[in-house]
Structure 1
Amino acid sequence: MKHFFSILVSLSALFTLTYCKKKEQPKVQQPNVLFVLMDDLGYGQFGIYNDTITTADFNPFFVSLVDSLQGYSLEKSLEYSQTAIPNLTKLAKEGVTFTNAYTSSNVCSPSRLGMVTGILQNRWGIYTNDDSEQSGIRKGTHLAEKIKASGYKTAHIGKWHIGQRNDQILHKILTKHQLAKDTNFYLLKPTHPELFNEIRESGYLGSVVESQNPLNHGFDYYYGYNHWASQYYNSYNIWENRTHLGKQAGYNTDVFTEKAIEKIDESIQENKPFYVQLHYHAVHDSVELKAPDKYLKKFNSDSFELNNFYAHLYAVDRNIEKIVDFLKAKEAYKNTIIVFTSDNGAMSGGSYDGHKSGSPLPGNTPFSGHKGNYYLGGFRVPFFIHWPNGIKQQKISNSLVSTMDILPTVLDAVGTKIPDSIDGKSLLSLLNNPREEKIHDYLLWSGVHATKWGYLIANSTKTHADEDQFAPPAWVVIKDNYLLRFTGKIEAGLYYDQMAGRAPVLELFDIKNDPSETRDISKDHPDKVKEMKAIYFKESKNFPRPIHWEESNWHELKKEKV
């Protein structure tokens, strides 16, 4: 009997020990997330895609303009696209690089809205920048709210541009000067330069209405601007939470990075996971202002414009390296997801009303077009995800994906349910699957097909200031290796190669074998045209009227007969 009790006690102790050990096992640690978004970075300018590209692949019209206007070395432009990003290249090669990724729009504000909500913004009547700026983000739709609710410290740093400006700031100044509240701010510059500067220095351009402030959309901290740009130096567009900061000191790529590190450090000290959106101004308008010498000295071609653009890109690369080094020092690197992409294609080449020019080659090579139009170069973008703890097998993926998939992927990774009603999908299963996996059967777009944001403006009788007001509407469907694009009526006298005007057209391209869209194969594949056209009209049936865009464009997009 004594022996029996001894065995019973031993078994009881063993059971208790085993139970306690199981109970004390730590939970799987939620990953940190750093979402890096660049402004107007082209597919071809991000050199990880250029292993097989030569200068012969450059768009010939773009090249002709370079030869006649700027004269930089085509070979140097290709070289710099690769040498400007050593750290980003390393991160991309250690993670999953997507070669078939698209934004939800060819311009920045609608694209960013689709990106952070996971919802195709056309479903809200948003087709253009003006639509987005006049509407802004809807309450409860930024997926960062769900990330914050999962226990994360959240911060948005840099470009916001998905909210309405605070017009009360403008109205107060106009009233003080006895001017009507509906006075056009931009028209004041030549007639009332002092008043123009007063408004600019008030922070109005970078302001956001309270209801659309990041602090009311899932973020604990905000340091940034609600405008399409905030120049590298001396900008008056920066706000911190709800306070205008006056003139910003320093080079903003460096400043934004320091703010990101500061917020990351706070999260680590509090032992909480972080979600940080680091949305740089670079490389928007990047040939205007000289990059700091510490970045510029790396590039020594005969062209300042070429050197300067890639210096600004190199600055981002070095700053991401700084964050990575910080994460490693804090032992947080391996469990941090780093997402990197661009909001649309490059604003490549072109003349901007005589005072600046767009970014250089390779631009969006091997694709035609640029920001603002629905050639592939306008909305196919660089994209990679890096996560040492979560990605065990590095790969290059050709799956059809969207930047609307980014935050659903983050939600999945942090263990939060993805809303059923959104267009974005989780890419998490794709990250560790050695085989390709279909995420989307197709993607679609609606909006303006404009030339103002790049080299194609040279083909227009209009200027950067107004071409988009006359540009035709377009819709696009991409499925498998095909792109179907409808382009609306072109009025006479708008484009030099179509001076008599042109009726609407429906074109089909094999984008795998013809990425520059040179051969319309719609007559050879009528069944494919019919199939993809049906997809668009089924999906777009309930797309509402545009908030600001000329309504006749919307009506033209709804016509099924071409």
Structure 2
Amino acid sequence: MARPNILWLFADELRAPALGCYGEAWAPVHTPHLDSLAARGVRFTNAYCNSPACVPSRLSMLTANLPERTGVYSNEGSWRSYPLPHILPTFPQHFAAAGYRVASIGKSHHHAAYHPWPEDNGEGSSMHGFGLDTNPKALEPIVPAGIPSPVGGVFPSDKPYPPEAVTWNATRWLDAHAGEEPFFLRVSWLQPHTPVLPPAHYRRMYRPSDWPGHNLPAFEGSVYEEAFAEMVGGRAFSHEQMQQAQADYHALTTWVDAQVGLVLGMLKLRGLLENTIVLFTADHGASLGENGLFAKVVHARQSQRVPLIVSWPGHLPEGEVRCDLAQGLDLARTFCGFAGLAPDDSFAGRDLFADPEPDAIWSTLGSGASGSRASSAANNGLWRNGGGWPRRTCIRTARYRFDMNVRQDGAAIAPAEEDPFLADTLADPLEQHNLAADPAHAGLIAEFRARVLAHAATAIEPDFVPAFSPDESPEFLPPRIAAH
């Protein structure tokens, strides 16, 4: 049998409940193409990123290694002056060496020293193609004070929508290369990441009044989550602004779904569906007002959890739903298993369709360097004791989520600043209740704390973390506009 093609469809900052097939949205959502893909394949309900921020998550996926092994813990890892501790093999390079035609179209966002994609076309993936820096008023931006990029707004229908270049280039690539050597193509949209500016005709699909706004269940979060919420400033939105932001995010998700439909349509047109594995996922999720939170950066379920859908007609079950733990760094061994390739020895994780579920998965975010900020791009957010924003590590098992701070200002965290969080995810699937102060769980907390500290002690550190500079990664710095 011919080796299968692989099409990796990739969104940015997409929470799993935003897709209709997950059945968890706060209001009706429209994602027919992804819902259909899930009906034709396998949908994972407990898939998580290995770092709830773009750069460390993406690098963990590409190298199949945790941040503690890559040495990249936050978005500073894409800055030109960031001193990478080493360069690890990536699985796209592994596929290229095995004879696949390998390409990425859309957003990459990693350090320039990495070259995972023999063909890499980033057109349409910039955060700066919308005119926000020059004429934002027409876009009706809803901008929190702490992160100067819109979490809601609209893009006029009488103008070309810049991100459509990603879809156009992907369909053109498939049309040009169908029937050649087996291909591995990643199509990577920036959306629904900020700036959240759906085209006007998509915005009209969603009524703000259908969304809860500030009327969301209360959560007993960690100090870390509370501090991030205060920094972002989402609680300052009016109820109507919050509803509009929630509606706009889902409108932009519907736009992503439509782009998926166009790419899958070309796959069908060129007769490639039967021998192409299609995998859809995201680099991390997003908060949409939970306890005032927006963006990512926290290990709360809505931020760390991602959608994961895999379809291969005739080879994988149709309509199967799996609840075992999955993680971003599992993609490398899973793709290798599909293609019949022996994985590189450096790849961690597992083949999701051949290997047993692990006892735990890990996620870590934050450099923990002196003076580091909660948002490296916005250069905003210090910790409560006046020090730098801490590094935080999360361990998830089939039943529990536990996370705590592990590093601050270039050293191991002081015990008083550990700020532990424990949730029983079976009894409390939304992770609303922090059990860290419950004496009945003292033994379990001590066990998790010891595991996390031992894990943190193995981390590879860069020689230094560069100070903020707007020249470091200009294509992904948020536009500088005032809060509305």
TM-score normalised per structure 2: 0.71
> Runs of 5+ in structure 2 lacking a partner?
134-158, 210-242, 410-414, 468-484
Hey, what's the Cα distance between the residues in 2 that align with 1:547 and 1:161?
Answer: 21
Picking from 435, 441, 459, the partner of 1:525 is 441
| Contact 1:511–1:517 under 8 Å retained in 2 | no
The equivalent residue for 2:477 is none
Question: Partner letter of residue 319 of structure 1?
Answer: Q
Structure 2 vs 1, CA of residues 104 and 225 (structure 1 numbering), >3 Å: closer, same or farther?
A: farther
Contact preservation (8 Å) 2:16, 2:22: yes
Change (3 A) 1:130 1:464: closer
Secondary structure at 2:337 match in 1: helix
TM-aligned CA distance change 1:505 to 1:233, over 3 Å? closer
Amino acid at match of 2:116: H
In structure 1, the gaps of 5 or more residues are: 1-27, 54-77, 165-210, 237-248, 350-362, 431-437, 454-462, 492-500, 552-562
CA-based RMSD of the aligned residues comes to 3.6
Change (3 A) 1:542 1:329: same
Pairing of 1:269-348 with structure 2 (within 5 A): 269=179, 271-287=180-196, 289-293=197-201, 295-301=202-208, 305-346=245-286, 348=288
Q: Give the 3 Å change call, closer, same or farther, for CA 507–445 of structure 1 in structure 2.
A: same
Q: Which amino acid aligns with 2:394?
A: V
Q: CA deviation at 1:46?
A: 2.7
Name which of 317, 331, 335 aligns with 1:406. 331
Aligned residue type for 1:230: M
Matches within 5 A, 1:32-431: 32-51=5-24, 78-80=26-28, 82-83=29-30, 85-133=31-79, 134-135=82-83, 139=87, 141-164=89-112, 211-212=113-114, 216-219=115-118, 221-224=119-122, 229-231=126-128, 233=130, 250-269=160-179, 271-287=180-196, 289-293=197-201, 295-301=202-208, 305-346=245-286, 348-349=288-289, 371-429=296-354
Provide the rounded CA distance (Å) in 2 between the counterparts of 1:547 and 1:106.
Answer: 23
Q: Name the CA distance, whole Å, in 1 between partners of 2:176 and 2:86.
A: 29
Pair member with larger Rg = 1
| CA distance, structure 2, for counterparts of residue 392 and residue 488 of structure 1 | 41
Cα deviation, residue 231, structure 1: 4.0
Q: What is the aligned partner in structure 1 of residue 3 from structure 2?
A: 30
Describe the SS at the equivalent of 2:163.
Answer: helix
- Tell me the residue number matched to 1:516: 431
Q: Which of 393, 401, 407 is equivalent to 1:475?
A: 393
Q: State the alpha-carbon separation in 2 of the partners of residues 510 and 261 from structure 1.
A: 44
Change (3 A) 1:378 1:335: same
Residue 199 of structure 2 aligns with an amino acid whose one-letter code is: A
Are 2:333 and 2:343, in contact at CA under 8 Å, matched by a contact in 1? yes
Q: Which residue of 2 aligns with 1:191?
A: none
1:256 partner letter: V
What is the distance in 2 between the residues matched to 1:235 and 1:407?
Answer: 37
- Per-residue CA deviations over 1:241-264 (Å, capped at 9, x if unaligned) read xxxxxxxx9423321111111222
- 1:179 is matched with none
State how far apart, in whole Å, the 2-side matches of 1:312 and 1:87 are: 14
Q: How many residues align?
A: 392
Percent identical across equivalent pairs? 23
Report deviation, 1:235: 10
By relative contact order (CA 8 Å, sep 6+), the higher-ranking structure is 2
CA–CA separation in structure 2 for the residues paired with 1:534 and 1:311: 43
Confirm or deny: 8 A CA contact 2:332 2:347 kept in the other structure.
no
Query: Matched residue of 2:27: which SS?
Result: helix
Aligned pair in 2 of structure 1 residues 532, 290: CA closer, same or farther (>3 Å)? Answer: closer
Query: In 2, distance between residues paired with 1:412 and 1:139?
Result: 24
State the shift of 1:382 in Å: 1.5
**1:466 to 2:466 alignment:** no
